[in-house]
A = this chain, B = another copy of it.
Amino acid sequence: MENKTPAIEIEKLGKVYTRGKEEVTAIQEISLKIPEGKFVSIVGPSGCGKSTFLHIVGGFIPKSSGKVRIRGKEVDKPGPDRGMMFQESALFPWKNVFDNVAWGLEIQGMEKSKRDEVVEHYLKLVNLWDFRKNLPSELSGGMKQRISLARVLAFNPDVLLMDEPFGALDAQTREKMQVELQRIWQESNKSVMFVTHDIDEAVFLSDIVVVFSGRPAVVKEIIEIDFQRPRTLDVHKTQEFMDIRNHIWDLLHQEQGTSDEEGM
């Protein structure tokens, strides 16, 4: 595996936000190689630069230094090979739920009957088929998040970039979505980059967990997790799971307090 081109390759990536004369270093230097078909989670303290990182990999914002390659190709602009689910809702307020999910498929030129089928499938998957005619402004926070999930899944990109996709979901829905995501990912050959605050979620879903330090972000540790697939919720109860979980927990605890206090 190691000698194949990695799905995602990040080399000495750095990002500095400037505003007037002030500068905020969001990402110090990050290097990462993610092989094809892996599920990678990123955890780190609030405000450390996770979203920034994903935005750069998605090609939305320019990097300050370093290189990002997807399947050997340098990233310089957004593209449909990488499906991004944003931390904030990016649903179009002028389209109803159905059309929001169908939008990307339409852009891709999928024909209508096929499109309708796909949209129906994913809306049912997230339990919101009945709300297909509603506008995003008429949905609850968690519902919006599920629509965004349906949108990016329906779109079926090779690489999934997900920024706290389940943050607004209740525990039950969240679990269901985790299981579904795992299934979909396994059935395809997608690479996933998944930002989460929930260490259990990260460990449960991932092949690799990347722990970011506090801002400015560097990679603190890369942890490989090789529970067999498909994993069921019972995995949570194994000792190994607990160990990994506690290890990450400790790693993050060291970060606590250093993250924001350094000033800008």
Contact = CB atoms under 8 A, between A and B. Distances in A.
A264 interface: yes
Interface residues of A, number: 50
B87 A141 contact: yes
Given A168-B167, A260-B130, A173 B46 contact: yes
Interface of A: 17, 19, 24, 43-47, 50-52, 87-88, 127-128, 130-131, 134, 138-143, 146, 164, 167-174, 176, 197-199, 249, 252-253, 255-257, 259-264
A170 B138 contact: no
A36 to B, nearest CB: 29
B170 A167 contact: no
Contacts of A43: 170
Contact of A197 (B52, B131, B139, B169): B169
Given A171-B249, A197-B168, A249-B171, A19 B138 contact: yes
Given A46-B143, A127-B261, A130-B264, 13 more contacts: A43-B170, A46-B168, A52-B140, A87-B141, A127-B259, A130-B260, A130-B261, A131-B264, A169-B197, A170-B197, A172-B255, A173-B256, A176-B256
A164 B176 contact: no
Contacts of A262: 130
Given A131-B264, A197-B174, A261-B127, A46 B249 contact: no
B44 A170 contact: yes
Closest 10 CB pairs of A and B: A46-B142, A130-B263, A47-B140, A170-B197, A127-B260, A47-B143, A172-B256, A87-B141, A46-B173, A46-B170
Nearest to A255: B172
A45 B173 contact: yes
Of the listed residues A24, A44, A46, A256, the one surrounded by the most CB atoms of chain B closer than 10 A to its CB is A46
